[in-house]
Amino acid sequence: MTATNLPRRIVIAGGGTAGWMTAAALARTLGPVAQVTLVESEQIGTIGVGESTIPPLVAYNRILGINEADFMRATQATFKLGINFENWRVPGEAYFHSFGGTGKDHWSAGFQHFWMNGLTRGHTAPYSEYCLELKAAEAGRFAHLPEDRMNYAYQLDSGLYARFLRGMAEADGTKRIEGKIAQVQLDGETGNIAALLLESGKRIEGDLFIDCTGFRALLIEGALRVGYDDWTHWLPCDSAIAIQTASVRPPVPYTRAIAHEAGWQWRIPLQHRQGNGVVYCSDFLGHDVALEKLLSSVEGEKLVKPNHIRFRTGARRKQWHRNCVAVGLSGGFMEPLESTSIHLIQRAILRIVRMLPAGAISQRDIDEFNDQQFTDMEQIRDFLVLHYKVTDRRDTPFWRHVSAMDVPESLTHKIELFRETGRVFRKNEELFAENSWVQVMMGQGIMPQSHHPVAAKLRDEEMAHLFGTLRDQVARTVAALPVHGDYVVRYCGADVPVAA
């Protein structure tokens, strides 16, 4: 096939983070071999509360050739080393899910096995003492280190990120069309999407359509009716309220997730403001009570009115159907507990680029895309459910409900495997690494009943030397790091606050 056989007309329905991430990647990757058109209406708002990200976004921006300091300045971003989970196992306690590795793994077993063996020999230092990113976050320090030794992500304004990407995409040739979609027109013979008809009467034809219309899913569901797998029986929270406040203290390099009686709250520090929100299950907490809980706990001047969001966790049964691919909320939703929303957008976009047909769309490509995307979502779903299922909380009806609920067999296996053996196995390029599962499962209260026998191979003096060296390396590195807020100002400080 030649380049002229590529689907030259790629139409993106909807803007926001999903739409402009897609447009920027396609325009920059394909260049003149594809005509990228994005349709959006300024009259339709975006959800725009996703401000906390995970490390793969660093690589995504690098793939697109984005200058990190420019990007962070434009989005008022700060650095993120992980998430502090407060009140999840029991009220009044916290644990940290960091982005880095902990200690030093052996090829046969993760560091947790050596640490558990060390407990039997009198080594009492917490598991967290061996993680650079975790200790740097606790100290409020950050810097780029040689050889990318510090794993990090960003805390950013997603609306400003979309604006930044729009400028880049348009410079690379993306055509933006203003207007509301009135009708999705199907081809009577093939069942494919033939065109989008706007309220203005303008008709936009295309070869491949990307649905970035958010919860409305106008193309993938409204026109193609692919169906939806509802996961609320495992993730029962169905409502959120978000609000932005002025910063009253220097930003810390982590996000806070604070559990309450029927869900949790987030706090995300940017350069000039803080993102705040409450997530809750409406079966266990009323809207007015949730709003009061949020407003009474925020710090600083309120910059906007509260944004009320209703959602249903789950996934479209087909993410790609005929000549339409769902990206972002149109493909499904999982609450932002582990900051995976932008990541799922990114994964879908990269798969589209890799599987872009050179002529007619292959059903095998479609099937492979759907299998990979759905596997991603199921694995992330299980990781989120873990936070609710494994808990010692029984203090409210909500926590009694989630702790007693049946969970997917895939998650049950992972929990019981770790509980019995201390082992975690990843499958199919699973997003969350072994150390993520270890940190969350131990943080939620699971202490393995056994560990790998290779840990017993170390003599007492060898283990003492290893543990001491690892802790000293972490402590020395953290002590030499600058304060996070100071580093952000020097590296990427935004000159003028930008209204959201």
> What number of other Cβ atoms are within 10 A of residue 459's Cβ?
9
Domains present along the chain, CATH in parentheses:
3-51+157-232+313-361 (3.50.50.60), 239-310 (no CATH)
Q: What's the pLDDT score for residue 499?
A: 40
Q: What digits encode the pLDDT tens for the residues 261-282?
A: 999 999 999 999 999 999 999 9
Give the number of C-alpha atoms closer than 13 A to the C-alpha of residue 456, restricted to the C-beta side.
5
Q: What percent of the chain has pLDDT over 90?
A: 92
Q: What digits encode the pLDDT tens for the residues 52-101?
A: 999 999 999 999 999 999 999 999 999 999 999 999 999 999 999 999 89
Token pair 């003028």: residue: 496
pTM over 0.75: yes
The sign of the dihedral angle between the CA atoms of 426, 431, 434, 440 is: negative
Is the predicted pLDDT of residue 498 greater than 70, yes or no?
Answer: no
Is the predicted pLDDT of residue 404 greater than 50, yes or no?
Answer: yes
Respond yes or no: is residue 80 known to be catalytic: yes
Is the predicted pLDDT of residue 50 greater than 70, yes or no?
Answer: no
Catalytic residue among 80, 135, 293, 389: 80
Is the predicted pLDDT of residue 447 greater than 70, yes or no?
Answer: yes
Q: What digits encode the pLDDT tens for the residues 123-162?
A: 999 999 999 999 999 999 999 999 999 999 999 999 999 9
Q: Which of 328, 331, 318, 410 is nearest to 368 (CA)?
A: 318
Q: Which residue has the higher pLDDT, 33 or 267?
A: 267
Q: Burial level of 195, CB count in 10 A (0-12/13-18/19+)?
A: middle
